[in-house]
Structure 1
Amino acid sequence: MVLADAGLTLAPDDPRTQVAKQILAPLTLELTEKRIAIIGANGSGKSTLLRLLNGLVLPSSGTVHVQGRNTRSEASAVRRSVGFVFTDPLSQLVMPTPQEDLELSLRRQKLSKKQRQEKALGILASYGLDHLAQSSIYELSGGERQLTALATVLAVDPSILVLDEPSTLLDLRNTQLLMQRLSTLDQQIIMSTHDLVLAATFERVLVIEAGQVAFDGAPQEAIAAYRKMAS
C-alpha cells in the first residue's frame, strides 16, 4: 500500500468568504508491515487517513495505490480487497439480525440461498455468536455487535483489514475478545486507536497531529513522542 503526496483539502462552500480547509496534509507513505497502528488526538486526521486507504475518501492531491491499484480509477477492486470496520458497528450493520447481515455480505459469492444461510451460521459459530443469529442487532452488546461487524467484513476474505478505533465503544472484556480474534488473522491490519497499550503491540505506529504524520516508527518511540506532544 503506497500513498504518494496524498492529501485532502475541502473546498469552501463559498470561496468568496471562506478558505479551503486542509484535513490531511500531503504525505508519502509505504505501508508494508502486517500490523500498523495509528494514534493521535480526536480530529487529528486519523479517520481521514484510514478512509483514503480503501477509497471511501479520495485524495484531493496525490495518489493512493493498494496492491498496485489506484483508489480513484479502480475503486471497486480496492474496496473488495480492503475491508473496513467502523468505530460504531451500527453504522455498517444494516440488516435486522446478525445472520441476515452475514448473508448480505455473502451475496458477492456464487452461493444458493441455503448455502448462504449455512455459511453465515458457520461463520457466526466461529465467533461464538451462533446463538444470537436471529437476535435483533439492537439486543446485542457492544462487543457482540463489533464482532458481528468484523465477521461480515471478513466473510468476503479481504487481504487487508482497516479498523477505525474499533474498541472505543467497548469495555475491557469485549476489547480483549476483539483483539484476541484479530490476533488469529493472516490479513494485514491497519488500525487507529486511543489505546496506547494496544498500540504498543503493533509492529509500526504512526502518530497523526493536525493532519500530518508527526512520528512514524517503532511502538515505544512513537508512543513516547505522542505523550510528549500531549503534555
Structure 2
Amino acid sequence: MSSPLQPMSFEFSNVSLEMEGKAIITDLSVRADEHRIGVVGRNGSGKSTFARLFCGLVKPTGGTVRVDGIDVYADRAAALSTVGILFQNSDHQIIFPTVEEELAFGLLQKGWNKNQASEKVEAVLESFDKTHWAKEAVHRLSQGQKRLVCLMAVLAMEPKAIVLDEPYSGLDIPTQMQLARTLEAIPTMLVHIAHDPSHLADCSRILWIDEGRLAMDGPPLKVLPAFDARMRQLGGNDDISDLAS
C-alpha cells in the first residue's frame, strides 16, 4: 500500500471563526508542508474546529484556508479530491448500511458512475485484505473496524491530505497499534489532531492551539514537552471548574 510521498502544503491566512457571538478561532496564520503534522490542545481549544476549517466544512468569519492552493470552502468540488477527514466518532461519519455502499458514496458524489465506483471499492477492500467485508452490515462491526471503514472510504477518494480528528479515541491499545501501522503507510499528508501528546511524537511538526490561537509551532521535541508541562500545571490547580472550561 505504501508509495512515494506526495508533496503538499496548506495555509491558514488570518483565519477567524465566530459562532453565536463567541470567538472559536482567532487570527490564525500558519503554512506547512511537512508530511506528518500534529495538532495538540486541550478539549475545547479549537482543534476540531481547525479540522473542519481545514476541510472546508465551515466558512471562516475572516481569512482563507487553502490546501494545495485550493480555497477549500469556496471550491467544494475541488476540495472533495484534495482533502478528507476521519472524524473522532465513526458513527457520525458513516451513512450507509453496508461497507461497500459507504465506500462508494464519495465516489458517486464526485461523479463516478456505479461501475467505476464498484471497481474502485473492490480495489480498496482488496488492498486492505477486506473483500469479505463488502456486504457486511456496518452496525455489526466493532469501533475499530468502523474506524477502518471510514479510513478506507476516505482513501477511496484519493485525497492529497487527510485530517485525523482523535483517530484513536475509544480504541483499545492493540487496535490503536494496528491503526497506527495503517496510517504510517499512507503516502498523503496527515494532519493528526489529538489531546494526548504521546500520539504525536512521530510527527515532523506540532501546532499547539490554545483558546483558538496558535500558542506554539515547532518540532515535537520543543512543543510537546512545553504542552505537557502546561497541562500538568493546570492539572495541579484545585479549581476543577477551570479544567472543565
State the match for 1:2 in structure 2.
11
CA distance in structure 1 between the aligned counterparts of 2:123 and 2:75, rounded to whole angstroms: 32
State the match for 1:105 in structure 2.
106
Residue 103 of structure 1: CA displacement?
2.3
Does the CA contact (< 8 Å) of 2:16 and 2:27 recur in 1?
yes
- Residue 212 (structure 1) aligned with residue 213 (structure 2): yes
Alignment of 1:168-183 (within 5 A): 168-183=169-184
State the match for 1:167 in structure 2.
168
CA distance in structure 2 between the aligned counterparts of 1:59 and 1:185, rounded to whole angstroms: 29
State the match for 1:116 in structure 2.
117
Over 3 Å counting, the alpha-carbon distance change for 1:50 and 1:131 in structure 2 is: same
State the match for 1:16 in structure 2.
none
Residue 106 of structure 1: CA displacement?
3.0
- Residue 186 (structure 1) aligned with residue 195 (structure 2): no
**Unaligned residue ranges in structure 2 (runs of 5+):** 1-9, 233-245
CA distance in structure 1 between the aligned counterparts of 2:50 and 2:152, rounded to whole angstroms: 23
1:5-29 CA-to-partner distances (Å, cap 9, x unmatched) read 101112x4xxxxxxx2111111110
CA distance in structure 2 between the aligned counterparts of 1:119 and 1:32, rounded to whole angstroms: 28
- Residue 221 (structure 1) aligned with residue 212 (structure 2): no
Residue 34 of structure 1: CA displacement?
0.7
Residue 42 of structure 1: CA displacement?
0.7
Residue 48 of structure 1: CA displacement?
0.6
CA distance in structure 2 between the aligned counterparts of 1:69 and 1:101, rounded to whole angstroms: 26
Does the CA contact (< 8 Å) of 1:58 and 1:71 recur in 2?
no
State the match for 1:156 in structure 2.
157
Residue 118 of structure 1: CA displacement?
4.1
Does the CA contact (< 8 Å) of 2:120 and 2:156 recur in 1?
no
State the match for 2:133 in structure 1.
132
CA distance in structure 2 between the aligned counterparts of 1:86 and 1:135, rounded to whole angstroms: 21
Does the CA contact (< 8 Å) of 2:197 and 2:228 recur in 1?
no
Q: Give the residue type in structure 1 aligned to 2:15.
A: A
CA distance in structure 2 between the aligned counterparts of 1:23 and 1:76, rounded to whole angstroms: 26
Over 3 Å counting, the alpha-carbon distance change for 1:71 and 1:117 in structure 2 is: closer
1:99-154 CA-to-partner distances (Å, cap 9, x unmatched) read 121122332364443x5334323312322332222221111111111111000011
Q: Which segment drifts farther, 149-158 or 134-143?
A: 134-143
Residue 195 of structure 1: CA displacement?
3.3
State the match for 1:146 in structure 2.
147
Percentage identity across paired residues of the two chains: 33
CA distance in structure 2 between the aligned counterparts of 1:104 and 1:73, rounded to whole angstroms: 22
Does the CA contact (< 8 Å) of 1:24 and 1:211 recur in 2?
yes
* Aligned residue pairs, count: 222
CA distance in structure 1 between the aligned counterparts of 2:36 and 2:178, rounded to whole angstroms: 18
Q: Which segment drifts farther, 50-59 or 126-135?
A: 126-135
- Residue 36 (structure 1) aligned with residue 37 (structure 2): yes
1:168-209 CA-to-partner distances (Å, cap 9, x unmatched) read 121111111111111111101101013322201000011111
Does the CA contact (< 8 Å) of 2:57 and 2:73 recur in 1?
no
State the match for 1:17 in structure 2.
none
CA distance in structure 2 between the aligned counterparts of 1:79 and 1:109, rounded to whole angstroms: 11
Residue 166 of structure 1: CA displacement?
1.0
Does the CA contact (< 8 Å) of 1:127 and 1:147 recur in 2?
no
1:27-55 CA-to-partner distances (Å, cap 9, x unmatched) read 11002111001111111100111111121
Does the CA contact (< 8 Å) of 1:23 and 1:45 recur in 2?
yes
- Residue 68 (structure 1) aligned with residue 69 (structure 2): yes
Does the CA contact (< 8 Å) of 1:33 and 1:188 recur in 2?
yes
Q: CA RMSD in A?
A: 1.6
State the match for 2:88 in structure 1.
87
- TM-score, with normalisation over the residues of structure 2? 0.85
